């Protein structure tokens, strides 16, 4: 499970409250909405994390903006984060909360990194193999990165399967630099 200790504490507390009322999926959607806003709207993020605005002003803002659209659980949760100065942890809290919801529902999120978009057949094959290995439904987040040169990197929980060309070239380089060449053998034409 991803996340630092602070995010894990807050996410677990919210998850436990949600589980009591069986509303973990709803709260996850609402938290996703707030995190999306936090990540994409720089004004909102700066306002929420700025020490120039008091905690009371931030709480009032949250109340006015979100109370009609979000559950009281998320509004109160945002108040707690503001009170403790942990608003900047929202993205990581959301990640951990999502992991907890997925774990409860027998799902796991997997990141697949490649140079270009993979064929749906390849993605389905990756899903099938990982589902058999972990005995969970697999949700694939596909990302692209030119720096890996080729191949695929799969991140599933704490496990990383690095089948990238870049990693293979690093291994070959390491082996070549650390191999001993026998100096007594000489070849002549």
- Residues 38-76: pLDDT tens digits? 999 999 999 999 999 999 999 999 999 999 999 999 999
> What is the crossing angle of helices 24-40 and 90-104, to 10°?
150
- Give phi and psi for 157, each to the nearest 5: 65, -125
CA distance 81 to 97: 15
Query: How big, in percent rounded to 5, are the helix, strand and coil portions of the chain?
Result: 60, 15, 25
Please tell me the predicted confidence (pLDDT) of residue 34: 96
Structure tokens at 135: 């005995």
Whether the per-residue pLDDT at 1 is higher than 70: the answer is no
Per-residue pLDDT band for 79 (boundaries 50, 70, 90) equals very high
Instruction: List pLDDT tens digits, range 110-120.
Output: 899 998 998 99
Picking from 85, 110, 83, the residue whose alpha carbon sits closest to that of residue 2 is: 110
Q: Specify which residues 162 forms β-bridges with.
A: 153
pLDDT (mean) for 91-116: 92
Place of tokens 């057949």: 121
Three-class SS of residue 25? helix
The answer, as to whether pTM is greater than 0.85, is no
């Amino acid at each position: 499970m991803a996340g630092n200790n602070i995010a894990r504490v807050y996410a677990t507390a919210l998850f436990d409250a949600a589980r009591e009322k069986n509303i973990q999926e709803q709260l996850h959607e609402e938290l996703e909405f707030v995190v999306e806003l936090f990540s994409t709207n720089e004004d909102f993020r700066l306002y929420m994390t700025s020490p120039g605005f008091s905690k009371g002003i931030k709480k009032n803002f949250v109340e006015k903006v979100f109370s009609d659209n979000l559950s009281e659980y998320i509004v109160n949760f945002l108040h707690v984060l503001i009170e403790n100065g942990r608003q900047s942890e929202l993205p990581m809290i959301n990640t951990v909360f999502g992991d907890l919801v997925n774990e409860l529902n027998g799902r796991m999120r997997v990141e697949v990194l490649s140079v270009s978009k993979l064929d749906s057949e390849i993605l389905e094959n990756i899903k099938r193999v990982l589902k058999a290995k972990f005995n969970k439904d697999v949700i694939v987040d596909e990302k692209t990165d030119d720096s890996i040169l080729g191949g695929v990197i799969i991140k599933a929980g704490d496990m990383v399967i690095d089948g990238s060309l870049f990693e293979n070239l690093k291994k070959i380089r390491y082996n070549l630099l650390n191999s001993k060449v026998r100096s007594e053998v000489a070849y002549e034409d």
